[in-house]
Amino acid sequence: MATTTFYGLAACDACRRARKWLDGHGLDYTIHDVRSHGLPAELTVRWAGSVGWDALINRRSRTWRELGAAGQSRAKSEPAMLLADHPTLLKRPLLESGGDVAVGFDAERWSRCLGLAR
């Protein structure tokens, strides 16, 4: 079975719902709290290759608004470093399993990512 890693925040409602769904399906996964453990730029570059930068950066978050125009312009010029410097900008939760990436919790999409959908 592929290694599954859950990226999110402990205090995020969507992350709590997603973890409850994973637990309800009896799935083994590793939790990576992005606030505590950060986000290496290499990791986000790999994800962006699958889903694109627009899918990874949460432009509706408080962190995004607090960046201001100068900080927000980094989303185009250096998105990997922006996420490394501000990991809470990651759209969450993010699930990575066997090279597949699913951003945001959607039970159907997560089922496909985890190979549960038939």
The answer to whether residue 15 is catalytic is no
DSSP secondary structure letter of residue 8: E
DSSP secondary structure letter of residue 92: S
* CA dihedral for 81, 87, 92, 98, sign (positive or negative): positive
Catalytic residue among 12, 15, 89, 103: 12
Active-site residue list: 12
